[in-house]
Chains A and B, each alone.
Chain A
């Protein structure tokens, strides 16, 4: 079920009313309702793949209890490997099988052996990269004694499958989300209204911004050979706003829906295009994935390599980003995308000058200031360069695209730009302006400070009108494919 579909707009009020008005007295019933609702939400897309979620849930539920009980370090490791092995095999089979087979055959063919191509037609189960990472972090935290396992199977299963974040994150940690299933949820009007605002803002970003960017970006990437340099550059810039609006829009709806049910998710985006360097960017973009990779890949690697000083740190950063690329998709273009981000850390790691991110996710105020505009633009340009690999169909597609940009720079066609429609030209600056004004707030429509109800009403009406006027027909979210 998509957040931007009619089904969801019927589903949500039904679950909401049952949850708060019918079974509000019993915590266990509420959890069970959320589990049932989550399975319906997922099963709406394809009920067969529910079995994968259920098996992953059962495996990590039992592994968690076993690791906790086991005192012997070797045996604990064995249990942990069972969880890792199982989840990574699921991912490996459904997401990477064909990629590895064809890459393997390519490698053989390139050294002279002739092998025939074969691949299986495998459908990627939606959300698999997200929920497997969530269950793995549960077992990893227990093995590090950072977390106690739960004996409540329903609560654990709901933690794994909780519908607002099941198919595209945020990848929640058990330490944050799981305890919330054991505490009585209180309905507060302020939180619910704030959740509603965040949902509206997310819908606006998805339906109005992202879905209007899509046709323009698709045309340019599909027919890149016929475009001027300037158009190719603009195509990537518009894609940058498309993917941001799409993914952060999804996240805003997810967090907003969770608030409606009295749950608090971790923040996933913190105005990433106002970052002043690449390290700052990764503290603000898809925070739940970058912090996952930070805790379970980068830090253990960097600790092991710490005697190699900066070279060790760079090796750990680079490996982490290659894996991040592979997480996004089974393709060399994604691996190069990750690799580039890793390389961009070189000045940060090796220079004498310290690059402090001006904002962190630690509750400190976001002190972005226009004085840093040149740094923001430079960081955005670097990110855009990597997006070419992210958006392209293949590595050769991306390289051709970049080659055409550079070839065109020295001919006359740089300024011969095919502009997107006038609506989009107005909407993207509007998004940037709103986010700049709101950069110290949790989300773009966090406007409880505006004390005049009429003013707030005007803002809501304005957004509704934009959605009605310019809303594109419902399209799936980009991150569903990962």
Chain B
């Protein structure tokens, strides 16, 4: 399951154009300067494309941190 974590990290690095990004389950938008609300939408689009999944809008709005994003991705992939 660490694969998903690594893939998500490289997506973050690509979309936010910052190779120093390290994600933990507790990471939130407050911890990463480039992660603003517009870039958040680009991130969601790339995540859905990369993993071939589709979230509901309500689900996306409930994420509080990276851990919850990872959970949602894993759940959808199953």
Q: Which of A279, A283, A304, A357 contacts B57 (CB 8 A)?
A: A304
Chain A residue at smallest Cβ distance from B32: A362
- B33-65 interface mask toward A, CB cutoff 8 Å, 1 = contact, 0 = none? 110111011001100000000000100111010
Does the CB pair A362–B33 fall under 8 Å? yes
Does the CB pair B38–A279 fall under 8 Å? yes
Query: A239 to chain B: closest CB distance in Å?
Result: 29
Does the CB pair B30–A303 fall under 8 Å? no
**If A144-B62, A145-B62, A146-B64 touch, does A299 touch B37 (CB 8 Å cutoff)?**
yes
Does the CB pair A299–B61 fall under 8 Å? yes
Q: Which of B31, B34, B41 contacts A302 (CB 8 A)?
A: B41
Does the CB pair A303–B61 fall under 8 Å? yes
Chain A residue at smallest Cβ distance from B48: A306
> In the complex, what distance in Å separates the CA atom of A354 from the CA atom of B64?
25
- The A interface, classified by DSSP as helix, strand, loop or mixed, is helix
B71 an interface residue at 8 Å Cβ cutoff?
A: no
Q: Which of A283, A306, A363, A364 contacts B45 (CB 8 A)?
A: A306
Q: Which of A145, A304, A313 contacts B38 (CB 8 A)?
A: A313
> In the complex, what distance in Å separates the CA atom of A362 from the CA atom of B35?
10
B7 an interface residue at 8 Å Cβ cutoff?
A: no
Does the CB pair A302–B37 fall under 8 Å? yes
A298 an interface residue at 8 Å Cβ cutoff?
A: yes
Query: B14 to chain A: closest CB distance in Å?
Result: 12
Query: A8 to chain B: closest CB distance in Å?
Result: 34
- A350-365 interface mask toward B, CB cutoff 8 Å, 1 = contact, 0 = none? 0000101100101110
A294 an interface residue at 8 Å Cβ cutoff?
A: yes
Task: Report the count of interface residues on B (CB-CB < 8 A).
Answer: 17
Task: Report the count of interface residues on A (CB-CB < 8 A).
Answer: 27
A307: which B residues are within 8 A, CB to CB? 45
> In the complex, what distance in Å separates the CA atom of A109 from the CA atom of B31?
54
Does the CB pair A283–B17 fall under 8 Å? no
> In the complex, what distance in Å separates the CA atom of A99 from the CA atom of B74?
50
**If A144-B61, A144-B62, A299-B61 touch, does A306 touch B44 (CB 8 Å cutoff)?**
yes
B38: which A residues are within 8 A, CB to CB? 279, 302, 313, 317, 348-349
B64: which A residues are within 8 A, CB to CB? 146
> In the complex, what distance in Å separates the CA atom of A304 from the CA atom of B57?
6
Chain B residue at smallest Cβ distance from A355: B38
> In the complex, what distance in Å separates the CA atom of A349 from the CA atom of B33?
17
Q: Which of B33, B57, B62 contacts A360 (CB 8 A)?
A: B33
> In the complex, what distance in Å separates the CA atom of A348 from the CA atom of B44?
19
Q: Which of B33, B37, B57 contacts A298 (CB 8 A)?
A: B37
**If A354-B17, A362-B31 touch, does A283 touch B41 (CB 8 Å cutoff)?**
no
A302: which B residues are within 8 A, CB to CB? 37-38, 41
23 pairs from A and B in contact (CB 8 Å cutoff):
A144-B61, A283-B36, A298-B37, A299-B37, A300-B61, A302-B37, A303-B41, A303-B44, A303-B57, A306-B41, A306-B44, A306-B45, A313-B38, A313-B41, A354-B17, A356-B33, A356-B34, A357-B33, A357-B36, A360-B33, A360-B36, A362-B33, A364-B33
Other contacts beyond A303-B41, A307-B45: 11, CB < 8 A: A279-B36, A279-B38, A299-B41, A299-B61, A300-B61, A306-B41, A309-B45, A348-B38, A349-B38, A354-B17, A363-B30
- 6 nearest A-B residue pairs (beta carbon): A302-B41, A303-B57, A294-B37, A303-B60, A360-B33, A362-B30
